[in-house]
């Protein structure tokens, strides 16, 4: 199941590159410079998907079994991941136009939905230690990760609201959230009697 999920993440990151186009205007340098929103959107969204993949991988290190409900919830998350290239293309195309608010709202709103899917997946797996190893369930690791994930939905919703107020603030908050979730897990998890090594 993890291998299948990794494949979907890989496809989603690959699809992002299809938005990059060779400029048809001359001179070439000017054409490339005009395409800067596309390049920036590509780098940001690739980074976001990469960070989500890393967090998904960390999650699966503590899940020792799966059931049909978990598989369906994981499918919802993968659905969210595969759609990311579309709002990315919207932002890249319309960020410098009067429709920038709509494009940014869709972009931030979709990450809000993904954050909900992420939380549903983890809360189902960790609820009463349903799918976790006995050690992780008893050591309180589930609660630590839950506290880390719960910031996602409200913050992404704030980014969605900010899109209607000031587009740069909305996009900036998305970047800050990505930086928060890229913090190495070893710095976030400190549990008595358990040492998390870099290899984990």
pLDDT at 185: 58
Mean pLDDT calculated for residue range 166-195: 74
Confidence band, pLDDT 50/70/90 cuts, at residue 140:
low
Alpha helix (H) ranges present in 95-150? 100-126, 134-139, 141-149
In this structure, the number of other CB atoms found within 10 A of the CB of residue 185 comes to 17
pLDDT higher at 25 or 86: 86
- The answer for residues whose C-beta is within 8 angstroms of residue 125's C-beta and 6 or more apart is 59, 63, 70, 131, 132
How far is residue 200's CA from residue 189's CA, in Å, rounded to a whole number? 12
Residues above pLDDT 90, as percent of the chain: 45
pTM of the model: 0.84
Q: 148, 160, 154: which is closest to 123 by C-alpha?
A: 148
Task: List beta partners, residue 63.
Answer: 132
pLDDT at 135: 65
């Amino acid at each position: 199941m993890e291998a299948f999920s990794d494949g979907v993440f890989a496809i989603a990151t690959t699809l992002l590159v299809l938005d990059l186009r060779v400029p048809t205007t001359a001179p070439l340098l000017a054409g490339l410079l005009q395409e800067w929103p596309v390049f920036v959107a590509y780098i940001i969204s690739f980074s976001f998907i990469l960070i989500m993949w890393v967090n998904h991988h960390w999650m699966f290190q503590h899940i020792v079994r799966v059931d049909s409900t978990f598989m369906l919830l994981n499918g919802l998350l993968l659905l969210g991941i595969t759609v990311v290239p579309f709002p990315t293309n919207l932002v890249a195309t319309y960020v410098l136009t009067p429709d920038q608010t709509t494009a940014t709202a869709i972009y931030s709103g979709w990450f809000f939905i993904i954050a909900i899917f992420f939380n549903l997946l983890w809360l189902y797996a960790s609820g009463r230690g349903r799918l976790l190893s006995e050690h992780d369930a008893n050591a309180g690791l589930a609660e630590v990760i839950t506290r880390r994930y719960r910031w996602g939905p409200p913050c992404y919703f704030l980014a969605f609201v900010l899109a209607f107020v000031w587009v740069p603030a909305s996009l900036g908050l998305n970047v800050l959230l990505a930086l928060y979730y890229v913090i190495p897990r070893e710095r976030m998890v400190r549990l008595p009697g358990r040492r998390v090594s870099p290899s984990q």
